[in-house]
Amino acid sequence: MTILDGKKLSEEIKQEIAQEVKEIASKGERVPHLAAVLVGNDGASLTYVGSKVRSCEKIGFQSTLIHLPEDTTQDELLEKIKELNNDEGLDGFIVQLPLPKHIDEQTVLEAVSPKKDVDGFHPENFGRMALGMESFIPATPFGIIEMLKRYNIETSGKHAVVIGRSNIVGRPISILLSNKGQPGDCTVTLTHSRTKNLKEITKTADIIVSALGVPNFVTADMVKEGVVVIDVGITRVPDENAKRGYVITGDVNFDEVSKKASFITPVPGGVGPMTIAMLLKNTLLARHRNMKNS
């Protein structure tokens, strides 16, 4: 059994990006610039956005954090997005989700210029991704694909079972795994809360991607020997013995399932760190595409 070490891999990717940033800077050109918009004070979002900004600084990107109050109106947020869309010194930006309840997420995501949409959440990017065209691929599925690629995991003709149909992970990874190429060429089953006989399906899987958000949902009896397991779950489970008062727990019962798996991601240290690395990669891609068009 091989552990898919997302922490190590993400460090390698970040080093590669840092090297490219050095080359851009040595030519006297502007370094990539990423902005993150955070509305309100959701604890997990504050942590994620802080981590994204710190990662930018470490690899030599310029970064801007725009922290707006919880009672920001939708119109005010849309105005800010318009400003960022028109800012020529900015390559890409993200609007951290979830947004407060009084703001319509879809309206906001559609307001982001597809050229600066480094999260890949705009319908234009989603459509282009589904068609195998140049786009921004959402960071989590992009990270999973990169992981499969760098560990040389054969995917052609394999049965991939995706658990969860979210727009951010489940649906895009099911499309990417079915696209032509390596990684890809899988036969994909996308399962969700209404799926019947889930266990019958997962037991036939060569590759399982679980993006459900239910701790320890995938157990040893649900998988076959040799399965490749990608655990996207990052649920905070209260634990009074933990320093922060919670532990990050995956969708997969690691102790059980790792005994049967050929490859498996740990939580934490698997898909999570890859997500930030791929957001940075998308920002670098945005910078290159801007240079090409200027």
Is 52 among the catalytic positions? yes
Q: Is the distance from CB of 101 to CB of 74 less than 8 angstroms?
A: no
CB-nearer residue toward ligand GUN: 35 or 139? 139
Nearer to ligand GUN by Cβ, of 6 and 222: the residue is 6
Catalytic residue among 117, 119, 231, 251: 119
DSSP per-residue string spanning 57-80 = HHHT-EEEEEEE-TT--HHHHHHH
91 binds ligand GUN (CB under 6 A): no
**Residue tagged active-site, from 96, 116, 117, 231:** 96
Tokens of 140: 């989590």
- 65 sits near ligand GUN (criterion: CB under 6 A): no
Q: Which long-range contacts (C-beta less than 8 Å, at least 24 apart) are formed by 121-127? A: 121/167, 121/168, 126/167, 126/172
Beta partners for residue 184, in sequence order: none
45/216 with CB nearer ligand GUN: 45
H helical segments located in the chain? 6-26, 43-59, 74-85, 105-111, 123-130, 139-150, 170-178, 198-202, 254-257, 271-293
Q: Is 260 a catalytic residue?
A: no
In angstroms, give the least distance from the CB of 275 to ligand GUN: 6
Interface residue with ligand GUN among 96, 174, 191, 210 (CB under 6 A) is 96
Nearer to ligand GUN, 97 or 130 (CB): 97
What positions carry a catalytic annotation? 52, 96, 119
Site of interaction with ligand GUN (CB under 6 A): 94-97, 119, 139-140, 168
